Amino acid sequence: MSEYPINERNRVIRGPKRANYDQAVIHAIIDEALVCHLACGDEQTSYLQPTLHWRIGETLYVHGSAKNGLFQRLMNGAEGSIAITLLDGIVFARSAFHHSVNYRSVILYGKARLVTDEQEKCAALDALMEKFHTGRSKEARPANATELKATSVLAFTLSNIAAKVRTGGPVDDPEDMQLPVWAGVQPIQLQLGEIIYE
């Protein structure tokens, strides 16, 4: 599969020219980002929280406290949504209206599966350690039985999913091109520093 199927749930309506359903593009965004925003709602209210995420194949994982209220609702069948965003630059246009940002984003819709198989759960948590730092899962003490019981791991299948990407400079109106106003792009980069060892 090179592209995820487009359906009424994942079709990008606003700015469809920036939509991207390519599997490699979506995987790369998921893998590069460190934080996602996980949400669900019911008839009374909505719930949202930032959390770590990671991917194994066609499954996206999140983890948290077994007593987490949002996780409890997802485990009880509420449909969830996950947003992932990487900011690549601030776009300065000649008019206030056309200022923007360059970004890569992914939105995923679906129901969560609680990971109950201990082997899968441990493998998933090891994969999170490897996302932090290659080889870390072999260095750190693995979770014990008490810690595993206190931790819920939720799995989402990458199906109702789409990316949206903006690149390039400002899109100014022709009549604004002669204005004495500078324009351009200020790149944004997330960089890991040197580890400060204890």
**For the segment 130-169, what is each residue's pLDDT rounded down to a tens digit?**
999 999 999 999 999 999 999 999 999 999 999 999 999 9
Q: Is the pLDDT of residue 174 over 70?
A: yes
43 pLDDT tier (thresholds 50, 70, 90): confident
Name which of 89, 79, 84, 87 is nearest 154 in CA terms: 79
What distances in angstroms separate CA 138 from CA 55, 120, 135, one per listed residue? 19, 17, 6
Q: State which H helix or E strand residue 59 sits in.
A: strand 59-65
- d(C-alpha 63, C-alpha 70), whole Å: 11
Q: What is the b/e burial string over 31-44, where b = at least 16 CB atoms within 10 angstroms of the residue's CB?
A: eebeebebbbeeee
195 lies in some domain = no
Which strand (E) or helix (H) includes residue 169? none
- CATH number for the domain spanning 99: value is 2.30.110.10
Asked if residue 46 belongs to a domain, the reply is yes
Please say whether the dihedral angle defined by the alpha carbons of residues 142, 148, 152 and 153, taken in this order, is positive or negative. positive
Give the range of the structural domain holding residue 33, as residue numbers without chain letter: 16-167
Instruction: Please provide the average confidence, as pLDDT, over all residues in the chain.
Output: 95
What average pLDDT does range 57-61 have in this prediction?
97
Q: Average the pLDDT over 75-102 and give the result.
A: 97
Residue at 174 is within a domain:
no
Residue 41 has what pLDDT? 87
Token match 């979506």: residue?
26
Compute the distance between CA of residue 138 and CA of residue 126 in angstroms, rounded to an integer.
8
The pLDDT of residue 47 is: 93
Which pLDDT belongs to residue 91? 98
Residue 128 confidence (pLDDT): 97
Share of the chain above pLDDT 70, in %: 99
Question: pLDDT class for 53, splitting at 50, 70, 90?
Answer: very high
Tell me the average pLDDT across 14-18: 91
Asked whether residue 191 is assigned to any structural domain, the reply reads: no
pLDDT of residue 172: 95
- Enter the pTM of the model: 0.93
DSSP-assigned beta bridge partners for residue 110: 80
DSSP helix/strand/coil, 17: helix
- The identity of residue 174, as a single letter, is P
- Report the C-alpha gap between 83 and 106 in whole angstroms: 6
- Checking if the pLDDT of 42 tops 90, the result is no
pLDDT value of residue 55? 98
Give me the number of domains the chain comprises. Answer: 1
Half-sphere exposure of 18 (CA within 13 A, CB side): 14
Residue among 117, 136, 137, 114 nearest 62 (CA): 114
Query: Does the residue 58 lie in any domain?
Result: yes
1 pLDDT higher than 80: no
Q: What is the CA radius of gyration of the chain?
A: 20
The pLDDT score that the predictor gives to residue 58 is 97
